Amino acid sequence: MTLGSKIAWDDTVLPFQLDNSDIRGRVARLDGVLDGILKQHDYPPVVEALVAEMALLTALIGQTVKLRWKLQLQVQSKGPVRMIATDYYGPSEEGEPARIRAYASYDADRLTDGAPFDQIGTGYFAIMIDQGQGMTPYQGITPLAGGSLASCAEAYFAQSEQLPTRFALSFGKSTERGVKEYWRAGGVMLQHMPKASPFAKGAEATGEEGLLHARDLVDGEEGENWNRANLLLDTVEDLELVGPRVSPTDLLIRLFHEEAPRVFDAQPVRFGCTCSEDRVRQSLSIYSSKDIEKMTTDDGRVTADCQFCGAHYDLDPKMLGFEAKGTDGDAD
């Protein structure tokens, strides 16, 4: 395979269900999406790894959002990597791809030689869902804990949704001979069906920092099913997760053939940004003419750059600011 050659299951999320375990899940493979995200920036390797992990989690979680909904994952921390933000835009119509974008903010001089998660200090992991105009956005947060962003996401679902959740992820640069290095990522998400949730009301938290853990939410037969599925997932190898030789359906058969896996339609995902000159103008319209004047460069222009895709906007300050909309130049 050469860079740019497309495999049928690249940049897709395949939902599935384990009928014998009452567990649902998704298998994700990201290739061009990660390339689209990371080529916009010159991130150090540890930051690239965090963005790759966050984008993979976003694809796995986002597959459940409805048409035209927006999912956002965000990390805010006091560490060298101050913020990671990802957006997942649900398809505008059935059959169309979803879109993902991501970026990170960091202090280069504070980065260390440690593991990627070591670059994140105390802070929080947040998930937000925007259902569209007229609807109140949903937001849930959990502390950063567990040694990985995947562990933070698992803690979020246990704590905020009372849903036992498990992620197995693999991501990194492909180093095939004669081919330029590029990022690939793959992962599996398991989630116990919602009927397990009522048990959480009396659950004792055993997770880090007193948070609920997936194992705290199931007992009895449900607990046995959950443990069995997790033991099977523990056997997965990194190369099986990222491909390119093992398709998502073959992976499910390898791991869970005794659990009667049933697959549904795969969701394609693409890199995509929603920035535009109109959106930039709209965001600047809240400022007064005096504020706009402070933003104006020596060349007499107002410039803005999109953090997600790197697009550069060069605008006429006379067309910006809410005061410019008044007939006499004063604020309305």
Q: Which two tokens stand for residue 81?
A: 């990597």
> What does the pLDDT read at residue 249?
95
The total number of structural domains in the chain stands at 2
Task: Give me the phi and psi of 59, to 5 degrees please.
Answer: -65, -45
Distance CA 101, CA 220 (A): 41
Which pLDDT does position 322 carry in this prediction?
53
Kindly state whether residue 30 falls inside one of the protein's structural domains: yes
Residue 32 lies in domain: 12-271
- Summarised one tens digit per residue, pLDDT across range 82-112 is 999 999 999 989 889 999 999 999 999 999 9
**CATH number of the domain to which 119 belongs:** 3.55.30.10
| Closest to 232 measured CA to CA, from 254, 216, 213 | 254
Whether residue 191 is found in the same domain as residue 75: yes
* Segment 295-314, tens digit of pLDDT: 888 888 877 777 777 777 77
Residues 46, 184: one domain? yes
Q: How far apart are CA 185 and CA 172, in angstroms?
A: 7
pLDDT computed for residue 203 by the predictor: 64
Domain check: are 239 and 297 in the same one?
no
Does one domain contain both 179 and 251?
yes
d(CA 270, CA 33): 5
Residue 102 and residue 111: Cα distance in Å, rounded? Answer: 20
**111 and 141 fall within a common domain:** yes
Domain edge (last residue) among 271, 290, 315: 271
Nearest Cα residue to 75 out of 54, 45, 101: 54
> Per-residue pLDDT tens for 245-274?
899 999 999 999 999 999 999 999 999 877
Average pLDDT over residues 181-191: 92
Amino acid at 32: G
Asked if 225 and 313 sit in the same domain, the reply is no
